[in-house]
Structure 1
Amino acid sequence: MENSNKNKLKPSPDFLPQLTACFAQPAAENPTVVMVEAAYQHHGLHFRYITCEVSPQNLEAAVNGAKAMGWAGFNCSLPHKVAIIQHLDKLGESAQLIGAVNTVVKQGDTWIGENTDGKGFLQALKKHINPENKHVTLFGAGGAARAIAVELALAGVSSITIVNRSKERAQAVVALLNNSTSAKAIYQPWTKKYAIATSSDIVINATSIGLYPNINEQLNIDFTSMTINMLVADCIPNPPQTHLLQTATAKGCKTIDGLQMLVNQGVIGIKHWTGVDVDATVMHDALKKALYIDTNK
């Protein structure tokens, strides 16, 4: 007798995962996909994450494409963190204050801009130092710098010096901090080798200088002004040990690399998209493996 079960179909699996992504230019050196995909797989989430090379002139088309395909959301990296705002329906509280977006979330038919950069950095910082009443020197005035400056100010730092080549952009951050927070902010021009003030407790690079593949680029800083009492952080995740951090380590400074910030903001972003609190260790280990870092350290 012929087996009656021979031609029976198995229950149909779901072949349509929820899509998330990163829009950036350049995009190839951004390792976010490694950690997010690792988290999705570890937690059995039916989501995928893709890296997309999106030029400024194609940003609107890319956003419309994500909307048309029903994506769950996406990240925005350089140079889109401010420009993306005009293509969204509303902003979360922190993104509205910061004036920059790095995470876009779909809620029903509404596309909302959030900012997790500053929160991710602050979580990493607090593992090493209490930011209250500290003095900060921050290099850069773009989207990431704005986010970090605002979160530091809200966390109680007493003063922030914004060092940037563009006076107009830096003064906009200074005005934001002075008008909306209790921190005192000032602008310093970056026209020559910048000497870091001895009063600085925390020194942060929020520029793209030294980002892969330009790993030999160095910040235009007088490195002799860096002292052992300073905590030095670099927001660049690739390579994790930038010239700035190598120099700071050699001087005996505590350091924070860009991977810590990246993982923390990724955890927050995935929570926005999926509702799940994912394991940060899984994400950090995946990044270390991808970037050839000894995971036993």
Structure 2
Amino acid sequence: MRKYGLVGKKLSYSYSKIIHTFLIEYYNLSAVYDLIEVDFIDSKLLAQYDGLNITIPYKADVIPFLQKNLSPIAAVNTILKNGDELIGYNTDIIGFSYLVEKLAITDIKKIVILGSGASSKMVAHFFADAEIIVISRNHPQYNYEYLQTITADLLINTTPVGMDAYDSPIPSELLTHYRGIIDINYNPLNSKLGMDAKKQNIPYINGLYMLIIQAVRAFEIWFELSVDPSVVEEIYYHICFLTHPKIALIGMPMSGKTTAITAFFGCDLDDQIIKRSGEKIADMLDRGTFRRAESRTLQALVNEGHKLIALGGGAILNFENLEIIKDYLIIFLNTPLEVLQKRIQTDTRPLLKKKGDLEKLYEKRIPLYKQYANITIETNELEAKLNEYFNN
């Protein structure tokens, strides 16, 4: 059986084993993948494995042990053992390029990178033709105080800030200095940096796709095969579900959120508001007290530990609600407009009284649902996904 693994100092946060175990099982290969925590790198360790991923703080330290280095920068994150020869690669670059493509910010001329480690060098290599400012805590000029004075097309966080606590490497009010934000961290999924960006409608993406793409490329190098792009999406969904014990559903009114959760003993937020307040939603809307009651009830459900909550269609209009469910996997239940148009014929919701109200609401809210959700699932797929999630 062939042996592979990830070498690093602290690996409890890592999803690499999840990804590679998925790929090994998907392609029915005789191999294992381990997490290898060490205090130093040596040739004896490297020789024990057919292939390795390398993470902080060893991406540069490993280079002297290689017989061949194909990385274009002074950082290696993948090693292939070919006979007695160790060959180094950097697959982070292709993973990062995927993030840039997915963020869809064009005409990038100036970037700001937070952090000066191996990942920072990789980002600088990728944007070699742009003006680059690297912010480092110890730099005499380009330190974090300097952020107050600059604007750029992209802000890219390569520091670990936000991984261990709900914290951000940059004050939220400075995020408006940028057209888009990339955070190469991926755990937690709803970080403070990400939430701050979404609150201000600034395009943002975290590093989970980068992690998956770089891992897939390493896997292709080790096993000399090509992974279909559809498998990347399968892995993304697999990680999201596997690493989040609690789910929050968002989506349009009448999208089927309440129906979907009934079989799994979930909580419907609107039903809970009525039950706990003893009032009708229409009456609370008339008095302007509904949104406060909504947040208060949602916080209570989270505090009580409910694992599946369906939010009302307008709950995302109050960003406080999204911060309340930041530890949940936020799923947008996507229902086609034509399906909603059929369902509205028998619905009596107060916000959908006039002809055309549904269409206007749909146009306004769909971009918000997509922006705030971690994943999107079509209505006809949700029950199967939840069944797999709760029964595995």
Question: TM-score under structure 2 normalisation?
Answer: 0.59
Residues 1-297 of structure 1 correspond to what in structure 2 (within 5 A)?
17-56=1-40, 59-60=41-42, 63-67=43-47, 69=48, 71-92=49-70, 95=71, 97-129=72-104, 132-153=107-128, 156=129, 158-167=130-139, 188-192=141-145, 194-195=147-148, 197-198=150-151, 200-211=152-163, 214-219=164-169, 221-227=170-176, 230-278=179-227, 279-292=231-244, 293=329, 294=331, 296-297=376-377
1:206 partner amino acid = T
Cα root mean square deviation, aligned: 2.1
Richer in helix (by share):
2
Q: Residue type matched to 1:197 in 2?
A: I
- Secondary structure of the residue that 2:189 maps to in structure 1? coil
Distance 1:116 1:163, change over 3 A: same
Equivalent residue for 1:181? none
List runs of 5+ in structure 1 lacking aligned partners.
1-16, 168-186
For 1:125 and 1:207, the matched residues in 2 are separated by 18
Indicate the SS of the match to 1:201.
Answer: strand
Question: Could you tell me how far apart the structure 2 residues matched to 1:136 and 1:143 are?
Answer: 17
Letter in 2 for 1:125: V
Amino acid paired to 1:287: I
2:6 is paired with a residue whose SS is: strand
Partner of 1:5: none
Give the AA of the match of 2:137: R
Task: Work out the number of aligned pairs and report it.
Answer: 246
Structure with bigger gyration radius? 2
CA drift of 1:188 comes to 4.8
Verify the 8 A CA contact 2:167 2:193 in the aligned structure 1.
no
The residue number in structure 2 matching 1:172 is none
Bigger mean CA offset, 124-133 vs 247-256: 124-133
**How far, CA to CA, are the matches of 1:45 and 1:206 in structure 2?**
34
Relative contact order higher in (CA < 8 Å, ≥ 6 apart): 1
Aligned match of 2:265:
none
The AA in structure 2 aligned to 1:209 is V
Contact 2:155 2:178 in 1 (8 A): no
| Structure 2: gaps spanning 5 or more residues | 245-328, 332-374, 378-392
For the Cα contact (< 8 Å) 2:136–2:142, is it kept in 1? yes
Offset, 1:189: 2.4
Q: Which amino acid counterpart does residue 180 of structure 2 have in structure 1?
A: L
- 1:201-238 deviation line (CA, Å, top 9, x unaligned): 11110011112xx122331x232122286211111121
SS in 2 for 1:49: strand
Amino acid at match of 2:153: D
Q: 1:248 to 1:193 in 2, by over 3 A?
A: farther
SS at match of 1:83: coil
Paired residues of 2:8 and 2:57 also in contact (CA < 8 A) = yes
Tell me, what secondary structure is at the counterpart of 2:103?
coil
